[in-house]
Amino acid sequence: MTVGLSRRDEFASFVRAHVAPAATSSDKSGCLDPRILSAFRESGYLGVNIDPNYGGLGFDNLDIGMLTAEVARACSSSRTLLTVQGIVSAAVQRWGNDSQRQTYLTRLACGEILAGFALSESDAGSDATAIETKIETSGDQLVVTGRKRWISFGQTANLFLVFGRAQDGFGAVLVPGDTPGLHREPQLDMVGTRAAMMANLVFDGCRVPRDAMLGRPGFGLSHVAATALDYGRFSVAWGSIGIAAQALASGVRFARTRKHSFKFLSDQPLIKARIARVGLATESAKLLCVEAARMRDERSPSAVMWTMAAKYAASKAAVFSANESVQICGARGLLSDDYGQERLLRDAKVTEIIEGSTDVLELALGDHLILRDGELDVY
């Protein structure tokens, strides 16, 4: 489908110039090339979801989605940078008080602040309520103690949104990266998004002012984290579309040039069938993403479920597409080179686990459809 092509051309041009050239080397080294980060800072794209009153670009959700997809076509680690920055920005913009918005949003928009989202722990992933990090009150300060795991850009972020148990329930606290007691342990050897510079974090009695609490105590998970993860699901959904589309395009290009028994692969029925299945899965998922974007722009309360559906379908499409693309390309698909198939497959699998695993989303969507008698609406 063709949606807002002129904007998409702008995004594609940016990615070709600034992201794609360093994507493979970033993946191999496990570090996002600093030139990619600089380009994102200069472009303003780190503030796509921030209100222009705070220096952001204030893109509508379709533009945010298209940018995310174009970035993910080249580099899912770069997409992760957009996702994490957007997650924390979304939470501050939605639930921050005036002082917090003034203090952080402009600096998030220009990339002076690089954000980290510290929710997961060793024994708390899909079940966020199992987190054990403590947020205790000590005079006019909050004291954060605990360990967080799987924190994207945890190696480099200079502001963390940290979730823990406070006196009145779950809380969310903004902790600067240079806070005494905060230690980072690089998480290396990840299968996918290897350049997302993941880290495990130790908060050893980290002290922050009481006004570092985002939102009210007791609402840290139900509202602050929920808002953040809702944006994260949307971002990952579109990132998955980028992976699926790129994998499909790579597979098609290979099939057009490779011969088997004197015929191009693209003329072989079995290859045609694979490409048809992948193409339809990708386009179907993209439609869900576009609808989710529309509903988010309309501030529909139904956008939450549509975003879940989009993420579910898109991440499955990404894995399907990447897997089929490798299969089409044969041994070439297994090679770690600039062709990129094997990296797309590794990065695709990540999307089925983060921001709401496929399994968790199936449960939530199943409950939702059962409540509505499983009916399909007829347009």
Partner 1 sequence: MGILEGKQDVDSFNITERYASPDRVTDAIRDYVTSVIGRTFLDDEDFFESGGVTSLFGMQIIGFVERAFDIEVLDDDLDIANFRSVSALSEFVSKKKVQA
CB of 173 to partner 1, least distance (A): 14
The contact pattern for partner 1, residues 246-285, with x = CB under 8 A and - = no contact, is: ----------------------------------------
Element (H, E) at 320: helix 303-329
C-beta closer to partner 1: residue 110 or 365 = 365
Residue among 13, 97, 284, 336 that touches partner 1 (CB under 8 A): 97
Residue 153 or 234 with smaller CB distance to partner 1 = 234
What is the spatial distance between Cα 172 and Cα 270, in angstroms, rounded to a whole number?
52
Q: Which of 110, 249, 305, 335 binds partner 1 (CB under 8 A)?
A: 305
Q: Which of 223, 286, 311, 346 binds partner 1 (CB under 8 A)?
A: 223
Beta bridge partners of 171: 164
Told to check if 368 binds partner 1 by CB under 8 A, we report yes
Q: Exposed, middle or buried: residue 360 (CB in 10 Å: 0-12, 13-18, 19+)? A: middle
Q: How far apart are CA 243 and CA 249, in angstroms?
A: 10
Pairing type for strands 115-118 and 159-166 reads parallel
Tell me, residue by residue from 183 to 222, as one string, x for binding to partner 1 by CB under 8 A and - for no binding.
Answer: -------------------------------xxx-xx-xx
Q: How far is the CB of 104 from partner 1 (least distance, A)?
A: 14
Distance from chain centroid for Cα 216: 26
Nearer to partner 1, 108 or 214 (CB): 214
Q: How far is the CB of 301 from partner 1 (least distance, A)?
A: 3
227 touching partner 1, by CB under 8 A:
yes
SS3 assignment, position 39: helix
367 binds partner 1 (CB under 8 A): yes
Mark out the alpha helices in the chain (DSSP H runs).
5-18, 23-29, 34-43, 61-74, 76-95, 98-109, 226-257, 269-297, 303-329, 341-351, 358-371
Q: Round to whole Å and give the CA distance between 251 and 275.
A: 8
| Alpha carbon distance, N-terminus to C-terminus of the chain | 19
CA distance 29 to 44: 26
- Tell me if 369 contacts partner 1 by CB under 8 A: yes
Q: Which is nearer to partner 1, 8 or 368 (CB)?
A: 368
Among 51, 60, 283, 291, contact with partner 1 (rule: CB under 8 A): 291
With CA atoms as reference, report the closest residue to 147 among 115, 170, 123. Answer: 123
Is 99 a binder of partner 1 (CB under 8 A)? no
* Residue ranges binding partner 1 (CB under 8 A): 95-97, 214-216, 218-219, 221-223, 226-227, 230, 291, 295, 298-306, 309, 364-365, 367-369, 371-373, 375-377
